[in-house]
Structure 1
C-alpha cells in the first residue's frame, strides 16, 4: 500500500477538552505529530503573554494545531460524498491543517514584530527545508511538501482547500476561539460549531454555508468580535507585550554596543539581532528558552534590561491610559521630554500601543487585501453574500475598530523627587491639565 493511503492498525485518539477526542488514522498524520518540529509546539504558548491576565491560558500551539486538524478531519468526512469535493485532496487538507502554525516562535506575534519575522514564512521553510517534517511529506509524494506549503501560503490552485484553513470562517478560527475561551474562562468565544460543520458545503473555490445555518454563523462572528476586544487586546496583556518587545529591543542595542559585556551572552538571539536568522536557530527557540534568558538578565549590569526583565518575570507591568495620537500629539511630545528630564528613558518607558480589528468584511475592488466573503447557499441554489442577508453582520461589516493606549511605569513616576515635575507628568497622563 502507498504511504499516502497507509492507515494505522488501530485508530489513535487524543483526549481534548474542546473537541472531546481528536482522531488519527492516517500513518502520515501520526508520523508528522511525532516529529521534533511539531513537538516543539508543546513549548510555545498559544496566547503568549495572556496568561498574565487570564491565568488559565497556559495551552500550547500543539493543542491548537491538533484542534484545527480535527475540525478539518470532520469537514472532509462530511464532504466525502459531495459532488464538488475531490477526495484526493483529503490528506493534503489534513496535513496543512496540522502544520499551519508550525513556524510560530516564542510569544508568537510579539516576537515577530520585534524581529520583523513572519511565522507563515517560517512554516513554509520548515515544510520545505531539511527537516523531519519534510522527509515525511516527501514519502507521500515528491511534490507533496510544496503542495502543503502552497496551501499555507494561500497560493495553492484549489482555493476550496485553502478556504478550509484560511478564510473568514475556517477551521483555524473555529478552534482558537473555542479553545482560547475555554482556557481563559470567558464565555464570549462559544458558538455552535457542530451546526456550522453540518451546513458547510463545498463549492468550486470556497466553502459556503447553507442559508439555514446563517444564525450559527452570526453567533460565530460575534464571538470572534468579543474575543478580540475582551481577551486578545486586553490592555494588561498588551502591557506585558510592550515590556517583552522592549526587552528584546534593549538586548539588541546592548549586543550592538561593543563596550557592553553580557553576564549571560544572548547566544540564542544573535542571528536574530544580526538579521541573519537560520532555520536551525529558529527551531531552537521556544518559550522556555526566552524565560531562561529573562530570568538571568534580571542580574544584568544594564539597569534598563534588568528592570524590564524583572517586570516581565514578576508581573510588575506598566500602567496605561487611553491615548489618541492625533489630538494628543503635543502632550505626547511634552511627556517624552519630561521623562528624559526625570531620568526615565522614554524609548523604553513611554510606549504607545495600538490594536485594531475588522470583524467581518467583503471584497471591495481596489483594496490591498482581498477578503473572501462568507457566502450563503440559498434554497434556489444561488449564492448570497452574508452581510446582504444578515442585519447583524451588515451592522459590523467593514467597520475597523482601532484602540490606542499609552503605557508607562507609574512606580517610577511616583519615585521622582522633583514634585513639580512629577505633578506635571501625572497631570498630562491623567488629563488634569
Structure 2
C-alpha cells in the first residue's frame, strides 16, 4: 500500500528547510531508483579519515535541488527568461544528475562495471523514468546532455561553477568538519547572471569566485585526496581485482547476487538492458560491506587480508613525493613483504604499489566568465589582476607509494 505523503518540506542541516516544489518532483524522489541514493555514501571511504562523513547522495541531490531553485529565482529577478517548462526541467535534471552513482560513489566508478561512467548510467535511469512518467523528463534529459539550445542551463548543472559543486563543497565541509570548504553558496548564486545565453558572474562577485576555487583546491588536498583515503580506496578496488582474478581461476567467492552478476558478465554500456538497469538499481553500499565481510573469511590470504584491512581500518602506509616513485624503492618494499609473509611477487603487488594524484583548481579550457559593469565579458583569470588568480590554473601532481605497516 502506497499512501503518498503530501508534505513537501524537508529539514536539511545545511540550508534549513528545503521545499519540493511540485508533485512530479516528489514522485521522482519517492521512486525506488532515487531512494537507493539513501544507501550510497557521498564520499566513499572518507569516513575512515573523517568519522562524520557518512552523508549520502540522497542528501546531496536534495541540496542541489534547493540551490537550483535559488538560482532560478535570482536569474528571473535579473530578467532572464526561464519558462515554467525549463524551470521544471532544470529541477529534474539537477535532482537526477548523480542517480547513476554505484556503491561508495567515485571510489568504485569502474570497479564494478568497466568503462561505463556514472553519468552514462544517470542518463539510462533518466530515460527509463521518462518512459515511466510519460515523457515528462524529455527536456531535462536534453539539458543534461548539453543538447538544449540555451547553454547556461547545462552550465547550472555541470560547469566549474555549478549547483553540484556549490552543494558538495559546503556539505562535505560540514560533515567532515573541514572549515576550509565552507563556501558562501548564497553569495555566489546572488552574483549569477546570463549573457548571450551563457552563465556568467557579475564583476562584484569575482572575489567570491576566487574564495570558492581556493576552497575547492584545499578540500581536495585535505579531504578528497587525503593520503589515508587514497590508500583505503586502493584497497577496496584491489578487493574487486582479486575477486575477479579468483573467479577467473574457477575459485568460488561468496557475493551478493546482483554484484556477482556484474562481476561475472562483463556488462558494457551496450548491454544495459532494462533488466540490467534494475539489477544495478539494487546495488548499494551494503553489497560492498557484505562482500568485505564474506571476503574476510575466504581461504585466499590476499582477499582475506585486503578485506580485513578495510573493515578493521588497518590500512597501508602511504607516503607522498614530489617525484615519481622509483622501481628500486618499490621492489625493496615488495621483497620485504614477500620474505615476511611468504607471498609470490604477484600477490605482493596487491599491498605494495605506487600512483599519482592531481589537483587543478581552475581549468582554463572551461572558463568562468566575468560580466563587467560596462557589459563586456572577460575570462576570470584576465579579470583578476592578482597573482593568486593565475596560481589557481597551476596543476599540481603528487606521487605516492603504499606498503604494509609491518615494514617499519
2:175: which partner in 1? 183
Check if 1:294 corresponds to 2:292: yes
Check if 1:280 corresponds to 2:274: no
1:59: which partner in 2? 55
Report Cα offsets for 1:12-66 as digits up to 9, x if no partner: 2110111111111212111111100000000000001000100000100000000
- Conservation of the 8 A alpha-carbon contact between 1:120 and 1:152: no
Distance 2:388 2:369 in 1: 12
Q: 1:297 to 1:206 in 2, by over 3 A?
A: same
* C-alpha displacement of 1:265: 7.0
Check if 1:107 corresponds to 2:104: yes
Alignment partner of 1:162 out of 148, 154, 157? 154
Check if 1:377 corresponds to 2:368: no
1:319: which partner in 2? 317
Report Cα offsets for 1:60-101 as digits up to 9, x if no partner: 000000001110011112222544433241111110110000
Q: Which runs of 5 or more residues in structure 2 are unaligned?
A: 269-275
Give the number of the structure whose alpha-carbon radius of gyration is greater: 1
1:74: which partner in 2? 70
* C-alpha displacement of 1:347: 2.2
Name the SS for the 1:207 alignment partner.
strand
- Conservation of the 8 A alpha-carbon contact between 2:243 and 2:253: no
1:359: which partner in 2? 361
Alignment partner of 1:223 out of 201, 215, 222? 215
Q: 1:9 to 1:180 in 2, by over 3 A?
A: closer
Distance 2:68 2:255 in 1: 44
Report Cα offsets for 1:369-417 as digits up to 9, x if no partner: xx2x111111111111111122255332431111121111122x36xxx
Distance 1:326 1:78 in 2: 47
Q: Which has the higher relative contact order, 1 or 2, with Cα contacts under 8 A spaced 6 or more apart?
A: 2
Using the size of structure 1 for normalisation, the TM-score is 0.84
Alignment partner of 1:29 out of 15, 25, 29? 25
Distance 2:107 2:64 in 1: 22
2:350: which partner in 1? 348
Distance 1:125 1:177 in 2: 27
Superposition RMSD on alpha carbons, in Å?
2.2
2:124: which partner in 1? 125
Shifted more, 69-78 versus 261-270: the winner is 261-270
Aligned length: 390
2:184: which partner in 1? 192
Distance 2:326 2:337 in 1: 16
- Conservation of the 8 A alpha-carbon contact between 1:11 and 1:25: no
Shifted more, 43-52 versus 17-26: the winner is 17-26
Q: 1:11 to 1:377 in 2, by over 3 A?
A: farther
2:272: which partner in 1? none
Q: 1:85 to 1:212 in 2, by over 3 A?
A: same
1:304: which partner in 2? 302
Q: Which runs of 5 or more residues in structure 1 are unaligned?
A: 1-7, 364-370, 415-433
Distance 1:226 1:37 in 2: 33
Q: 1:266 to 1:36 in 2, by over 3 A?
A: closer
1:174: which partner in 2? 166
* C-alpha displacement of 1:198: 1.4
2:327: which partner in 1? 329
Q: 1:357 to 1:324 in 2, by over 3 A?
A: closer
Using the size of structure 2 for normalisation, the TM-score is 0.89
* C-alpha displacement of 1:275: 1.5
